[in-house]
Amino acid sequence: MNIIFSIDQLEEVAQQIIASNPKKVILFHGEMGVGKTTLIKQLCKTLGVTGATSSPTFSLVNEYETIVNQLIYHFDFYRLNEEVEALDMGIDDYLYSGNWCFIEWAEKIPNLIPEAHSVLTISSLADGKRYLQLS
């Protein structure tokens, strides 16, 4: 799936992503500030999270609950120094829980990523729009 979009199309983009039936573990790739967290917030809303969502930069993981009691985990491993830190926080329990796992900066934990995952890459275009590729 390839999409070019602007910020005002974010709701539609999130619906398209979910409708494409990706794996429940999704790795988000893109430069700092490209909109990974913003897209994850919209995905959470699309999946039924009604509470506040925020970047887990300092906590490493945020847990959200949908209106149908599904759990969604949002990880941000930017500050991680070693994979063992993710193991210490119980990353395996999250990744193999069957719940949605949205992971920013997954390149920090390459040996811990489950085989069954999707990759979502976002990049900025010259006109301010974003190019998204989901595989």
Per-residue pLDDT of the chain (135 residues; tens, 9 = 90+): 999 999 999 999 999 999 999 999 999 999 999 999 999 999 999 999 998 888 776 678 999 999 999 999 999 999 999 999 999 999 999 999 999 999 999 999 999 999 999 999 999 999 999 999 999
CB 50, CB 67: distance < 8 Å? yes
Architecture of domain 2-134: 3-Layer(aba) Sandwich (3.40)
| Domain range list for the chain | 2-134
| pLDDT of 65 | 94
| pLDDT of 92 | 95
Read off the amino acid at residue 101.
C
The SS3 call for residue 30 is: coil
Question: What stretch of H or E contains 36?
Answer: helix 36-46
| pLDDT of 56 | 78
| pLDDT of 123 | 97
| pLDDT of 3 | 96
| pLDDT of 54 | 81
Which is it for the CA torsion 13, 18, 23, 27, positive or negative? positive
**CB-CB neighbours of 45 under 10 Å:** 16
| pLDDT of 25 | 98
